[in-house]
Structure 1
């Protein structure tokens, strides 16, 4: 699974949300009732949470059958909404099976016990390529575009120790960096 770790605070999340909302092929999938979901192209992400992002150019989303032995369907128009027939282990998140290449997850963790939390993007990517289900090229390109945008907005820092120390692996956005420089610590794990 592809993973893009970041340190964000409220101002950084606003910038990230604006970028995601400006991307024509990205929409936010939100709950509109128990087991009901809908994609929205106009959205705002402003607080900690796990967010489901749909990349519309990567193909249709599956509508999983109630019974695993039955054939799955397709969600005809995610922007009109749908009722899940089978939910996953976490009913507060839409479920498309073990992983779908049109879905990107944003885990926003702004503050954790007084520290700047470690946020991240997750994407199943080419995990199922060996089974004949590779990620669409448009999804790979968007993942690359997202990574380039994040890198332009941030500085790479280590999980702990000096900000300019070795082992740099997490992308810290500018407002998060200001907090670090003022003495606020950072979470070393999500």
Structure 2
């Protein structure tokens, strides 16, 4: 079953979330290592923007073929890096097809980040793809997702996306610094951002 964990985060909250993921032995971060090149790392210095998380016990990552006639394979060692053979529309993150059970997408934005409005709280989120397209999620990944949701419950407050903060429509989380800013009057976005980088020359 796919899932989405929506939340608001301010600058200070990003350190709390990064520490949680950095200290998790089951999670690796996929970072760009040149045009179309990627590698998995265990720790990360800056977490804002889009980041693919690899749940390592959940299974290997795919290396997609360029098209008909070139089969998909598995990446032998993501920590050693790989060259992508097929890119998605958003080349700021690696492309594993429409979904992949052991990959999660973190979209983390704070007010003012890289030109975003400073007087609005953007909506961040963590996407879990679950069982899709005939692929079954490993039980360890399901358990990890449940632990992550529990962690958010312990460190954040569930609020609404607009209007009064409390109510039956509360469906996203506000981390501590974000909650303080929202309570002080900072406007909040009610939909996730849709950010794509500009196409590379020659595409």
- TM-score range (shorter-chain normalised) is over 0.9
User: In the alignment, does 2:167 pair up with 1:165?
Assistant: yes
Residues 153-182 of structure 1 show CA distances to partners (whole Å, capped at 9, x for unaligned) of: 000101111122331111111111110121
Question: Helix, strand or coil for the counterpart of 2:80?
Answer: coil
TM-score, structure 2 as length reference: 0.87
Q: Distance in 1 between matches of 2:83 and 2:177?
A: 39
Once the two structures are TM-superposed, the CA of residue 87 in structure 1 deviates from its matched residue by 1.1
TM-score, structure 1 as length reference: 0.93
Once the two structures are TM-superposed, the CA of residue 126 in structure 1 deviates from its matched residue by 1.6
Structure 2 runs not aligned, ≥5 long: 193-203
Q: How does 1:6-45 map to 2 (within 5 A)?
A: 6-45=7-46
Instruction: Show the counterpart of 1:93.
Output: 93
Instruction: Show the counterpart of 1:103.
Output: 103
**2:50 and 2:92 in contact (8 A); partners too:** no
Instruction: Show the counterpart of 1:134.
Output: 136
Question: Helix, strand or coil for the counterpart of 2:188?
Answer: coil
Question: Helix, strand or coil for the counterpart of 2:173?
Answer: strand
Question: Helix, strand or coil for the counterpart of 1:79?
Answer: helix
**1:20 and 1:26 in contact (8 A); partners too:** yes
Instruction: Show the counterpart of 1:75.
Output: 75
Question: Helix, strand or coil for the counterpart of 2:78?
Answer: coil
**2:30 and 2:52 in contact (8 A); partners too:** yes
**Count of residues in Structure 1 that have an aligned counterpart in Structure 2:** 186
Once the two structures are TM-superposed, the CA of residue 143 in structure 1 deviates from its matched residue by 0.6
Once the two structures are TM-superposed, the CA of residue 25 in structure 1 deviates from its matched residue by 1.2
Question: Helix, strand or coil for the counterpart of 1:188?
Answer: strand
User: In the alignment, does 2:152 pair up with 1:188?
Assistant: no
**1:18 and 1:44 in contact (8 A); partners too:** no
Q: Distance in 1 between matches of 2:164 and 2:103?
A: 35
Structure 1 stretches of 4+ with a deviation exceeding 4 A read none
**1:21 and 1:44 in contact (8 A); partners too:** no
**2:156 and 2:176 in contact (8 A); partners too:** yes
Question: Helix, strand or coil for the counterpart of 1:69?
Answer: coil
Aligned-CA RMSD value? 1.3
Once the two structures are TM-superposed, the CA of residue 115 in structure 1 deviates from its matched residue by 0.9
Residues 106-151 of structure 1 show CA distances to partners (whole Å, capped at 9, x for unaligned) of: 11121253211110000111233xx2x2111011011111100011
Structure 1 runs not aligned, ≥5 long: none
Q: Distance in 2 between matches of 1:158 and 1:23?
A: 29
